[in-house]
Amino acid sequence: MFPSGERSGSPGPGDCQANRGLSPQFFLLSTRIGARPGPQTPHLIPPYTNEVMQQAVLAAKPVVLGSSRIITTTPKRQPTLVARAVVDSSQDAFSADVIDASNAAPVIVDFHAAWCGPCKLVAPSMVWADKEYDGKLKVVKIDCTDGNKDLMEQYKVYGLPCLIMFKDGAMMDGSLREGAITKKGLAEYIEKWTGLSAAV
């Protein structure tokens, strides 16, 4: 027995009778929330707040009853589209980035260096080409500032910047071009060796 005004933590017949107008689901939900009864606190949420809570809970579907938490689902995130970008390659990755990749699409390689003024003028045009041809042409840059000397010797790169076109797993004979180039000149160079045209 409990003193006057106190009630046990478990609902009894009187609780169900007093809250006959409420659904059993919300009766169960309220018992799981953890609110303990007291002299001024019915075991269920008062009717004037129950309707508001019911609307809120119904809006957050699905609801798992019989648990101390309300579990809701969130919409799946859409996959983020990753924009293409110029590839910075090296001696170790050259075979995969250039030779193997050229079997799927032509690859233009830009040999450059940090101390090379004309190289900096060509750089924006290479970014433009990567976006303009959008997968039909791969753009790769080789930094010759301090390394990749073996590649320079292998492909006889003596001046910077230097462009070379690769296709079908090999360098295209005669495609080596040294010196600065304008965007229009780059578009003409690409069209000559790949047949791809672009509006400049």
For the domain that residue 160 is a member of, what is the CATH number?
Answer: 3.40.30.10
Q: Within a domain: residue 71?
A: no
The per-residue pLDDT for 79 is 40
Same domain, 121 and 182: yes
The per-residue pLDDT for 50 is 55
Those residues whose C-beta lies under 8 Å from the C-beta of residue 122, and which sit 6 or more positions away, are 110, 112, 161, 180, 181, 186
Q: Within a domain: residue 47?
A: yes
Q: With both helix axes pointing from N to C terminus, report the angle between 183-194 and 117-133 in degrees, rounded to the nearest 10.
A: 60
**Block mean pLDDT (10 aa), the chain, length 200:** 48 48 47 48 48 54 47 49 72 96 97 96 96 95 94 96 98 97 97 93
Residue 177 CA to residue 105 CA, distance in Å, equals 20
SS3 93: coil
The per-residue pLDDT for 16 is 45
Same domain, 30 and 124: no
Regarding beta strands 138-143 and 107-112, do their DSSP bridges make them parallel or antiparallel, or are they unpaired?
parallel
Q: Within a domain: residue 6?
A: no
Same domain, 92 and 166: yes
The per-residue pLDDT for 192 is 97
The per-residue pLDDT for 75 is 52
Asked if residue 37 lies in contact with residue 43, where contact means CB atoms within 8 angstroms, the answer is yes
Residue 132 CA to residue 118 CA, distance in Å, equals 22
Which residues form the catalytic set? 116, 119
Asked if residue 38 lies in contact with residue 66, where contact means CB atoms within 8 angstroms, the answer is no
Regarding beta strands 138-143 and 87-89, do their DSSP bridges make them parallel or antiparallel, or are they unpaired?
parallel
Q: Within a domain: residue 113?
A: yes
Q: Is the dihedral of CA 130, 136, 139, 140 positive or negative?
A: positive
Same domain, 177 and 97: yes
Same domain, 102 and 21: no
Domain count, the chain: 2
